[in-house]
């Protein structure tokens, strides 16, 4: 017979002679059993697909499974190569089968040197070769994850305070925990346990709170990845829901405080109770109310030290009898203690006294003319324009010392006061008044002095009183106010009340003014015409200029004798050349007025 050889060059020779068909010329050679097909690999898997070969007996290894189907050539040998991400073979597994079926081979996550491989994704190459050397390959993957979830991070939303390794929270503080598994198999599930309570499923990033009671609490978040690696996060916190304590001592109601003054706010030092979060170095805030404590919108200070005292520079614009102060002391978690004034107090402008002093000639009734032998009466008005009572404290509230020489004036008796008490000290020549002035009220004082009849010549007689004011009603006078003359004498020093006293001559009282003539002089340096009335006891003059039609084109008003006119209309414009009429009116120290005759004036520049 002839030999048969298969296409795979198998060495077995066999020939089967088939009978010739009828009438056939020759026989036909058939070669049965020739295998040209590779084994089939199917149903490939690795279960579990993720392992953690850490020796905890949970997913420490995987079983690689595959089915081999071969038609003719058994046995079939198989090889499993396990490669890392760099295509390096780390482990080779091999075996053979004599019949079709499933191959199950375990891998414990170790390399050929029996060392656990690093975490990562590993590919498998499965090769099956039949006895006819036909080969087939396949490649399922396996993830090795030997690392537990990590990178835990907790976030506090709301009140929290960290002091070293201690974390303080309130029972309302929201807490959430996050974590990740890096490049591992991914987090499969997490649980949360607070203190020794129940362990419940937890979704990372979800808020939870630590309930009361106050004190130390712990929570634990446990996360397991898809390779059954477990990571645990423990945190201890201290719950503090209790506010510190503080007591406001002043102002506590009933006080009267001058607006714009400095008032000491005092309190009992703020104190934290138990093992709370503690106080910062500046835990105090202060505010005030002007509606009896219904609201406290007005900030006095924030971030103040807890030293029991704050110097309040009170607002000068407040005028209220329903003022209260609130103190707030907060601990490091914002737990706040508050206390307010027990009752309303007054914050208003302090006592403020204005003073006027005027002189009247009691002899003649004149307020202008004073001569030797006359009596000058002074009228002083003290008015309380502030918001508090002007107190009657120890000592006088007003004094006026007659400082003119005793040879000139002598104080009279008979001083009066509309309220309170006025007196005179002969040794110090001082009038004194004791009394109080209500808000918006006033007191009128009168006292007098006599001008000695032997006075010769003209002198200024000036003096000034002093009011002493207790602006904040504390029993002592802080402010001194000098009297002011509302119609001061020309040339009088400062705000003193002054009069011109004219000594007697041979004329009669109030009839000493005499005018003997009028002198007009051209003053070249000033380009002005000087008018000077001649006579005795002339105090001032008034120059008037008229047109020939009687129209007044200029008036100087009462001016000093010897007035210089620049030939203008009083508004800076020169009057035209021409003929004019003028008259000069003269007034004496006794108030008497005389007028010169009308005279003609020719202006020709």
Integer Cα distance of 71 and 601 in angstroms: 157
As a whole number of angstroms, the distance between CA 296 and CA 274 comes to 30
Give me the chain's average pLDDT, please.
85
* Cα separations in angstroms, 161 against 167, 237, 280, 324, 330: 6, 10, 11, 32, 13
pLDDT confidence tier of residue 405, bands split at 50, 70 and 90: low
Pairing of strands 16-18, 28-30: antiparallel
| Residue 219 backbone class (left: φ over 0; alpha: ψ -120 to 50; beta: rest) | beta
pLDDT tens column, 482-539: 999 887 776 666 788 777 776 654 343 334 566 778 888 998 888 899 999 887 668 8
pTM: predicted TM-score of the whole model, two decimal places: 0.54
**Contact between 514 and 535 (Cβ < 8 Å):** yes
Answer yes or no: is pLDDT of 384 > 50.
yes
**For residue 12, what pLDDT is reported?**
33
442, two tokens:
């006033």
Question: For 366, which DSSP code?
Answer: -
193 in Cβ contact with 199 (< 8 Å): yes
Residue 449's Cβ-side half-sphere holds a number of Cα atoms within 13 Å equal to 26
User: What would the mean pLDDT of 5-26 be, rounded to a whole number?
Assistant: 37
**What b-and-e string marks burial along 174-196, b requiring 16 or more CB atoms within 10 Å of the CB?**
ebbbebbbeebbebeebebbbee
How open is the CA angle 325-329-334, to the nearest 5 degrees?
130
User: Mean pLDDT: which of 121-135, 188-202, 406-420 is highest?
Assistant: 188-202
Tell me: the pLDDT tens digits for 51-66?
999 988 889 999 999 9
- The count of residues in the chain is 605
For residue 16, pLDDT beyond 50: no
Among 603, 434, 444, which residue's Cα sits nearest to residue 528?
603
CA–centroid distance for 418 within its chain: 52
Residue 496 Rama label (left phi>0; alpha psi -120 to 50; beta): beta
Beta-bridge partners for 370: 501
Q: Are 483 and 357 in contact (CB under 8 A)?
A: yes
437: DSSP letter? B
Cβ partners under 8 Å of residue 365, min gap 6: none
Task: State the Cα angle at 70 between 65 and 73, rounded to 5°.
Answer: 130
**Is 102 a residue whose pLDDT tops 60?**
yes
Give the pair of three-digit tokens for residue 68.
């081999």
Q: What is the pLDDT of residue 491?
A: 64
**Domains delineated in the chain:** 1-32 (no CATH), 40-144 (2.60.40.4070), 150-239 (2.60.40.10), 245-348 (2.60.40.10), 353-502 (2.60.40.740), 514-603 (2.60.40.10)
More confident residue, 525 or 190: 190
Q: Which two tokens stand for residue 178?
A: 């996050």
pLDDT range class, residue 418, cuts 50, 70, 90: very high
CB 125 within 8 A of CB 80: yes
Q: How many CB atoms lie within 10 A of CB 149?
A: 26
Tell me how far apart the alpha carbons of residues 170 and 336 are, in angstroms, rounded to a whole number: 13
Bridge partners of 382, per DSSP, are 355, 443
For residues 569 and 269, give the distance between their C-alpha atoms in angstroms, rounded to a whole number.
78
pLDDT for the residue numbered 134: 65
pLDDT at residue 81, rounded to an integer: 93
């Amino acid at each position: 017979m002839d030999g048969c050889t298969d296409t795979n060059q198998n060495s077995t020779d066999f020939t089967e002679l088939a009978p010739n068909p009828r009438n056939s010329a020759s026989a036909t050679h058939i070669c049965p059993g020739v295998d040209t097909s590779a084994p089939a690999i199917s149903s490939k898997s690795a279960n579990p697909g993720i392992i953690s070969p850490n020796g905890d007996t949970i997913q420490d290894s995987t079983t690689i499974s595959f089915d081999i189907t071969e038609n003719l050539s058994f046995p079939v040998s198989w090889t499993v190569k396990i490669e890392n991400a760099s295509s390096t073979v780390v482990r080779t597994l091999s075996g053979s089968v004599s019949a079709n079926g499933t191959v199950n081979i375990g891998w414990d996550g170790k390399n050929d040197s029996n060392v656990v491989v690093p975490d990562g994704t590993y590919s498998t190459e499965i090769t099956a070769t039949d006895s006819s050397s036909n080969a087939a390959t396949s490649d399922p993957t396996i993830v090795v994850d030997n690392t537990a979830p990590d990178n835990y991070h907790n976030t506090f939303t709301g009140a929290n305070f960290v002091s070293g390794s201690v974390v303080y929270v309130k029972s309302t503080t929201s807490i959430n925990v996050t974590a990740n598994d890096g490049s591992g198999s991914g987090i499969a599930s997490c649980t949360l346990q607070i203190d020794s309570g129940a362990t419940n499923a937890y979704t990372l990033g979800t808020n939870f709170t630590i309930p009361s009671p106050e004190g130390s609490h712990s929570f634990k978040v446990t996360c397991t990845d898809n390779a059954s690696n477990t990571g645990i996060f423990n945190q201890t916190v201290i719950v503090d829901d209790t506010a510190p304590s503080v007591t406001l001592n002043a102002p506590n109601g009933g006080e009267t405080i001058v607006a714009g003054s400095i008032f000491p706010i005092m309190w009992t030092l703020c104190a934290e109770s138990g093992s709370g979060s503690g106080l910062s170095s500046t835990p105090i805030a202060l505010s005030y109310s002007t509606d009896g404590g219904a609201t406290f919108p007005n900030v006095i200070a924030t971030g103040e030290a807890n030293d029991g005292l704050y110097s309040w520079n009170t607002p000068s614009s407040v005028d209220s009898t329903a003022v209260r102060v609130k103190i707030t002391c907060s601990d490091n978690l914002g737990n706040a203690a508050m206390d307010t004034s027990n009752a309303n107090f007054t914050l208003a402008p302090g006592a403020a006294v204005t003073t006027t002093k005027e002189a009247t000639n009691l002899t003649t009734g004149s307020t202008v003319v004073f001569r030797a032998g006359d009596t000058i009466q002074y009228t002083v008005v003290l008015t309380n324009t502030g918001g508090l009572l002007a107190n009657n404290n120890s000592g006088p509230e007003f004094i006026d010392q007659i400082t003119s020489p005793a040879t000139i004036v002598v104080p009279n008796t008979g001083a009066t006061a509309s309220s309170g008490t006025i007196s005179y000290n002969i040794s110090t020549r001082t009038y004194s008044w004791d009394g109080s002035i209500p808000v918006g009220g006033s007191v009128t004082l009168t006292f007098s002095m006599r001008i000695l009849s032997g006075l010769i010549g003209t002198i200024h007689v000036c003096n000034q009183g002093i009011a002493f004011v207790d602006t904040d009603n504390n029993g002592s006078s802080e402010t001194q106010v000098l009297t002011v003359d509302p119609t001061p004498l020309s040339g009088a020093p400062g705000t003193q009340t002054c009069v011109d006293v004219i000594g007697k001559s041979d004329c009669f009282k109030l009839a000493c003014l005499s005018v003997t003539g009028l002198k007009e002089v051209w003053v070249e340096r000033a380009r002005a015409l000087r008018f000077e009335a001649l006579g005795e006891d002339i105090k001032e003059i008034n120059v008037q200029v008229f047109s020939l039609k009687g129209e007044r084109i200029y008036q100087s008003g009462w001016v000093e004798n010897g007035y210089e006119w620049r030939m203008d209309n009083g508004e800076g414009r020169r009057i035209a050349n021409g003929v004019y009429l003028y008259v000069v009116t003269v007034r004496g120290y006794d108030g008497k007025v005389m007028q010169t005759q009308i005279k003609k004036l020719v202006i020709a520049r």
